Structure 1
């Protein structure tokens, strides 16, 4: 009977899916790098634009008192001739309100907007958009440090055509004093950056980076701005843009230095939110297959569905293995060991190859980034298990959530704050 080979099917898919995706991402990213990226000047030598339209930099803030001066200080030093800065305090409970008022009082191109209660990042961004007089917006988090040439690199895409609705930048980790911090340096290169390059080759980008992204205001208006009930507004706005046939592009030269969690508790909360956000767009945009005009969204939707299925399948494997220690299971359901054999070794080698490719590409932006390669041996053990667990938790959380409830935010774990850019 077919079910007697069930364990072979389970293990086969669990093994071949991540193997296939890793090589798909590597091939796609290398094609992107060879055909586009390597031909361009380095990030500190931005292109000369035909014009420099006015740009508003939106900075939604929630309890960012410790970071506001540093973030705005970097914005005031941008190598772009025509911009202003709008700081939106979203009902912070610390001294954020007083700090951004102080900054705005000292700089004529800085505006401070005060929301009396926590409305969520999506609402803060929408309010900032309404306050701006620009057609172009650059949105960053309140703890991010923008590279001086970031806006110029992003604006070249908008000037290339009216259907460019958004441009996502290249976030770089700056707190790297712990093992979790070092692993995320490789993750943002090998997983996030590599995947965005590959997705640009085969059609659509899964999401802009919420920490650094630029938007065309008229496109935002057409799609209805950011959704206030979605836990990850960046994923949602990316799908809204692309299902309305706007192009979302990736600009690796648009660097932004960010803080990330360096505790397991903070990392868990962040990744559950990411997993829930992915599942929410899964339910919201299920109708993409009913319209052939949206066919370019089909690959990333399918990729999302299969990745969630894979996570649950891995969970089933662990459960069967644990049950087998106490219950006499049928032969076709027995999992004798979860210790990697030859296939696990091949996956590990592939994972290290993926990191090698991505760190080689990203060495354009961080010449010393390849030294973090030696830490990546720990990535599959920790982050693959974390990905499985957060996906299993995130899907039912998204399914049973109150869709009329506004998604507000809490202060995240930003790790150990190091002010130096670790180049």
Structure 2
């Protein structure tokens, strides 16, 4: 009986990533052939029926090194009608002074100064309430928005009044280390492919907090961003879709971002992401049991199963480590972690997934294929990181007091 239990753990550890890779690949290919392949070149987006005012929102906290570059690039949008709202959220460096100076240089810019650090969600709410546009495009204070991105995002809003949000396509700027190169492949083969697949299958787990567009009436309908959630982007995505607003993915809306290139910085970032997912599941899980929320069931189920897989992997690793020190009974003995036939199969499927995603993404980066070599190391890094952060994040989410303000912390921005 116990032997069967251990075999079940091992089978689940193998078949879950295999099944998800197949789902992501099939969904990504369906998306590509249905929508992406027939789109015009990114540098010549299709004309729109109208060009309503769009408010470009940039929440900032201690962004003195990047804010000038970010806003200067943002002002180069080819979209003809926009304003820029930058929020200085209690910065302790000279971000506020730089923003005041930039007002003189960028006519479209307005600045809101918050006296204390109140968190990204508070800054977004303040800017949304001050915005003159019916559509909001939100980016981070260190991001570089492609000049055509606003055009591509607004296109979906005009296409259907049920579209409440559109998530863009983040691209990694810093690639000087192995971790940076691994994340280039990750955003392409994991995040980009997942969003394509989720768009095909009906619901998207989250918009990208670094680049996303919102219909203001949709935000008003759900009460804007919650200020007590670690990841405000996941939270607002779930609430919008639970109110039956549609979220779309637009790969042509490129946004160049900085990512952690140290293990400590990467750990902190992924722990926050994992905690944010657990928080929304704990807060809205019971609401999803209603029949009217059935289209969210697959998104929630995939997250629950991924959590179960992380704990499954932790049990297997723990049994293997204990077996190195003491002799365990056969029903608990994990003989080796050296890849056997199943490890080879998973590795081949992962490399196929990476290849498909990089071929699709060549539309946006012609030389992205050179990162394929580095991706052979990614499954090991990704699975270990996912397992560890999921296990640590769940109790943090359970123990967190509701209503606690989620304030800014300065992230690792890489090299």
TM-score greater than 0.5 by the shorter chain? yes
> Could you tell me which residue of structure 2 aligns to residue 242 of structure 1?
241
> Could you tell me which residue of structure 2 aligns to residue 267 of structure 1?
266
> Could you tell me which residue of structure 1 aligns to residue 127 of structure 2?
128
Is the Cα contact below 8 Å between 1:170 and 1:254 reproduced in 2? yes
> Could you tell me which residue of structure 2 aligns to residue 420 of structure 1?
none
Is the Cα contact below 8 Å between 1:288 and 1:298 reproduced in 2? no
Work out whether 1:153 is the aligned partner of 2:184: no
For 2:318 and 2:3, locate their aligned partners in 1 and report how far apart those are by CA, in whole Å.
Answer: 18
Q: CA deviation at 1:370?
A: 0.6
For 1:364 and 1:188, locate their aligned partners in 2 and report how far apart those are by CA, in whole Å.
Answer: 15
Secondary structure of the 2:37 match is helix
> Could you tell me which residue of structure 2 aligns to residue 390 of structure 1?
389
Q: CA deviation at 1:197?
A: 0.2
Q: CA deviation at 1:223?
A: 0.2
Listed one character per residue, the Cα deviations across residues 178-197 of structure 1 (whole Å, up to 9, x for unaligned) are 10000000000000000000
Q: CA deviation at 1:4?
A: 3.1
Q: CA deviation at 1:162?
A: 1.2
> Could you tell me which residue of structure 1 aligns to residue 30 of structure 2?
31
Listed one character per residue, the Cα deviations across residues 103-160 of structure 1 (whole Å, up to 9, x for unaligned) are 1133321001100110000000000011111110000000000000001101111101
> Could you tell me which residue of structure 2 aligns to residue 412 of structure 1?
411
Q: CA deviation at 1:338?
A: 1.3
Is the Cα contact below 8 Å between 1:288 and 1:295 reproduced in 2? no
Secondary structure of the 2:364 match is coil
Secondary structure of the 2:206 match is coil
For 1:224 and 1:313, locate their aligned partners in 2 and report how far apart those are by CA, in whole Å.
Answer: 37
Is the Cα contact below 8 Å between 1:42 and 1:365 reproduced in 2? no
Is the Cα contact below 8 Å between 1:55 and 1:136 reproduced in 2? yes
Is the Cα contact below 8 Å between 1:288 and 1:297 reproduced in 2? no
Q: CA deviation at 1:245?
A: 0.2
Q: CA deviation at 1:253?
A: 0.4
For 1:236 and 1:48, locate their aligned partners in 2 and report how far apart those are by CA, in whole Å.
Answer: 33
For 1:9 and 1:125, locate their aligned partners in 2 and report how far apart those are by CA, in whole Å.
Answer: 46
Work out whether 1:351 is the aligned partner of 2:350: yes
Is the Cα contact below 8 Å between 1:42 and 1:253 reproduced in 2? no
Q: CA deviation at 1:289?
A: 3.6
Alignment: residue pair count: 415
RMSD across aligned positions (CA): 0.9
> Could you tell me which residue of structure 2 aligns to residue 364 of structure 1?
363
Q: Which runs of 5+ in 1 are unaligned?
A: 417-423
Work out whether 1:339 is the aligned partner of 2:330: no
Is the Cα contact below 8 Å between 1:311 and 1:387 reproduced in 2? yes
> Could you tell me which residue of structure 2 aligns to residue 220 of structure 1?
219
For 1:202 and 1:404, locate their aligned partners in 2 and report how far apart those are by CA, in whole Å.
Answer: 33
> Could you tell me which residue of structure 2 aligns to residue 83 of structure 1?
82
For 1:121 and 1:155, locate their aligned partners in 2 and report how far apart those are by CA, in whole Å.
Answer: 23
Is the Cα contact below 8 Å between 2:222 and 2:240 reproduced in 1? yes
Aligned ranges 1:51-200 → 2 under 5 Å:
51-200=50-199
> Could you tell me which residue of structure 1 aligns to residue 257 of structure 2?
258
Q: Which runs of 5+ in 2 are unaligned?
A: none
